[in-house]
Structure 1
Amino acid sequence: MADWIYILNPHRDVLDEEPCDKEKILGLAQEDPEAEFWLSRRNRMKRDDRIWFYFTSPDAAVAAVGEVDEAPWVDPDDPDVSYLVAVNLLPEATKALYRDPVGREELGLGQVRSVQMVKPHALPLLLERAGL
């Protein structure tokens, strides 16, 4: 199992035509936890990997988590999207992270890219805050 950081910018990223902010993802986790997210490349993700959602604003922090349902795939119906990945958002863990997010400094993130692996020293903190 691998752990990934997925960057969401609420000013730029949308889901169901709404800004992809912490409140939107928390609501999805509680009401409809199965979602698809866009990827620019496969990133070697596979089923049962975890995705930690890092929101760039208003406060840069990880505030949601989900598990990959299946390996990323090419969307043949949308040539503008490189890959899609199905994620099952974890309601209780997301609620815990929403209440007590893990900030950028705590994660030790350098340059922020769209998707990157979680640094080994940050994983215990993420798991603790998520109650996993």
Structure 2
Amino acid sequence: MTEREAVADWIYILDPKRDTLDGEPSDREAIRRLAEEEPGLELWLSRRNRMKQGERLWFFFTHPEPAVAAVAEVDQEPWNDPDAPDIPYLVGATLLPGATKALYRDPVGRDELGLGQVRSVQKVKPEALPVLLARAGL
């Protein structure tokens, strides 16, 4: 098993109409700007998932056109914040500026990902990973 096979890639769903990051709307433009200016994030998770440091989060934006247009690397495994009882789990991640800029210019659409039902977080399908990596320049 290679190092890359030992880790997972995840789709993280963002709905720009209702989700915010650091008080900003979670649209493609805001995320691209954050990747350049303030790439460190703490993201909300409804369940713990088995994310590990070094895995990637591919951001799927639901509007205006459903597509992956940003990517981050997981900095630390999900944790529970006792000071935020209304948020089940958090995960630390850092946006990858170059790869996010590439995806912003040429996003990966829903059809190319083979996404069925959209949940908040799900693993990337193995057949979609080469397309994501190529578009992101990784």
* TM-score interval, smaller chain: over 0.9
The yes-or-no answer on 1:19 pairing with 2:32 is: no
SS at 1:11 equivalent: coil
- The sequence identity of aligned pairs, in percent, is 70
Matching residue of 2:54: 48
The yes-or-no answer on 1:72 pairing with 2:78 is: yes
The yes-or-no answer on 1:63 pairing with 2:69 is: yes
- TM-score normalised over the length of structure 2: 0.94
- TM-score normalised over the length of structure 1: 0.98
Aligned residue pair count? 132
- Cα RMSD (Å) of the superposition? 0.6
Matching residue of 2:98: 92
Deviations along 1:14-44, whole A, 9 cap, x unmatched? 1122211111111110011111100011110
The runs of at least 4 aligned residues of structure 1 exceeding 4 Å deviation read none
The yes-or-no answer on 1:31 pairing with 2:37 is: yes
Question: Any stretches of 5+ residues in structure 2 without a counterpart?
Answer: 1-6
SS at 2:102 equivalent: helix
Question: Any stretches of 5+ residues in structure 1 without a counterpart?
Answer: none
Deviations along 1:72-130, whole A, 9 cap, x unmatched? 00011110000000001000000000000000011110000000000000000000000
SS at 2:115 equivalent: coil
The yes-or-no answer on 1:9 pairing with 2:15 is: yes
